[in-house]
């Protein structure tokens, strides 16, 4: 006979850049997560769900609860409720949750291969995910108003998983990703409803201003990786790609 041992997944507490706001306007900034298990690996590998359903299911599985400001844990055992909560969370918090899950499950060092745009050499690099620069939003609100440099007034909303999904499901968004990133957040322009053509025609200085203010109101995580080619010493930037299977499963390159 051998003694059976209990398998206990790793659990960790993480401080969200923004925080989850419940229906009574209570703010929860700290979240309790458990590491990924085979159950989530199967979800991520499934061919029957779209990417956003998979990501929301993984988050709903791994969030054990939110920690109140008094230090008490608010457990949420209803997976459907959690699925709805993670879908409506701000994109910065969602990105932060995926990074935290990665760190908790397989560690903070992420190794990747990349081809240098100057010399064409494919080399391996590593980044410490716990050192990415995280900025908290300057103010906690769901909608906000801006006066653009051109004098146009707009009303904006904080982007959540719902708008992320909207962009992913609209095939036209592939070629106009910068416009869509503004469009899905814009509720009104000079008091009128917004369409994609209006957003496209906005002057560049207005669009740049909007992007700066989005980072102010949503917070941000800097996922630009600065790489110095070990072959030709040229420096270049690359974006951290969380969509790669190797991000969560380092053995799959």
Cβ at position 230, least distance to Zn ion in Å: 8
x/- letters, 45..64, toward Zn ion (CB under 5 A): --------------------
Question: Which of 74, 168, 174, 232 is close enough to bind Zn ion by CB under 5 A?
Answer: 232
Q: Which of 131, 237 has the CB closer to Zn ion?
A: 237
Single out the segment in contact with Zn ion by CB under 5 A; choices: 37-45, 102-110, 227-235, 244-252: 227-235
Q: Closest distance between Zn ion and the C-beta of residue 2, in Å? A: 53
Is residue 228 at the binding interface for Zn ion, with CB under 5 A as the rule?
A: no
Which residues inside 102-141 make contact with Zn ion, applying CB under 5 A?
Answer: 116, 118-119
Least separation in angstroms between residue 228's CB and Zn ion is 9
Given the rule CB under 5 A, which of 48-56, 73-81, 89-97, 230-238 is the region that contacts Zn ion?
A: 230-238
Q: Rg (Cα) of the chain, in Å, rounded?
A: 20
Q: Does 73 bind Zn ion (CB under 5 A)?
A: no
DSSP per position, the chain? ----------EEEEEEEEEEE-TT--EEEEEEEE---HHHHHHHH-SSS-HHHHHHHHHHHHEEEEE-TTS-EEE---HHHHHHHHHTSBHHHHHHHHHHHHHHHH-SEEEEEEE-TTT--EEEEEEEGGGS-EE--SS--SEEEEE-TTS-EEEEE--BHHHHHHHHH-GGGGTTHHHHHHHTTEEEETTB---HHHHHHS-HHHHHHHHHHHHHHH-EE--EEEEE-TTT--EEEEE--TTSHHHH-TT--
- Kindly write out the interface string for residues 77-96 of this chain, putting x where it contacts Zn ion by CB under 5 A and - elsewhere: --------------------
**Contact call for residue 146 and Zn ion (CB under 5 A):** no
Binding test (CB under 5 A) with Zn ion, winner from 146, 156, 214, 229:
229
Please report, as ranges, the residues that interact with Zn ion according to CB under 5 A.
116, 118-119, 229, 231-232, 234
């Amino acid at each position: 006979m051998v003694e059976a041992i209990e398998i206990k997944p790793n659990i960790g507490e993480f401080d969200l850049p923004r925080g989850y706001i419940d229906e009574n306007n209570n703010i929860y900034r700290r979240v309790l997560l458990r590491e990924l298990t085979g159950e989530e690996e199967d979800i991520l590998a499934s061919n029957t769900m779209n990417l956003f359903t998979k990501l929301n299911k993984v988050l709903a599985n791994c969030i054990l609860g939110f920690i109140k400001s008094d230090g008490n844990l608010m457990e949420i055992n209803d997976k459907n409720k959690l699925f709805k909560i993670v879908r409506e969370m701000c994109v910065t918090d969602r990105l932060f949750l995926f990074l935290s899950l990665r760190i908790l499950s397989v560690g903070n060092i992420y190794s990747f291969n990349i081809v240098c745009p100057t010399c064409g050499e494919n080399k391996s690099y590593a980044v410490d995910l716990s050192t990415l620069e995280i900025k908290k939003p300057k103010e906690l609100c769901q909608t906000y108003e801006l006066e653009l440099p051109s004098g146009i007034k707009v009303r904006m909303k904080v982007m959540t998983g719902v708008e992320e999904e909207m962009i992913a499901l609209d095939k036209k968004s592939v070629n106009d990703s910068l416009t869509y990133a503004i469009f899905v957040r814009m509720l009104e322009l000079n008091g009128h409803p917004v369409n994609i053509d209006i957003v496209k025609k906005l002057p560049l200085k207005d669009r740049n201003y909007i992007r700066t203010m989005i980072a102010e109101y949503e917070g941000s995580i800097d996922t630009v990786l600065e790489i110095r080619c070990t072959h030709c010493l040229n420096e270049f930037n690359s974006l951290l790609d969380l969509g790669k299977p190797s991000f969560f499963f380092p053995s799959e390159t």
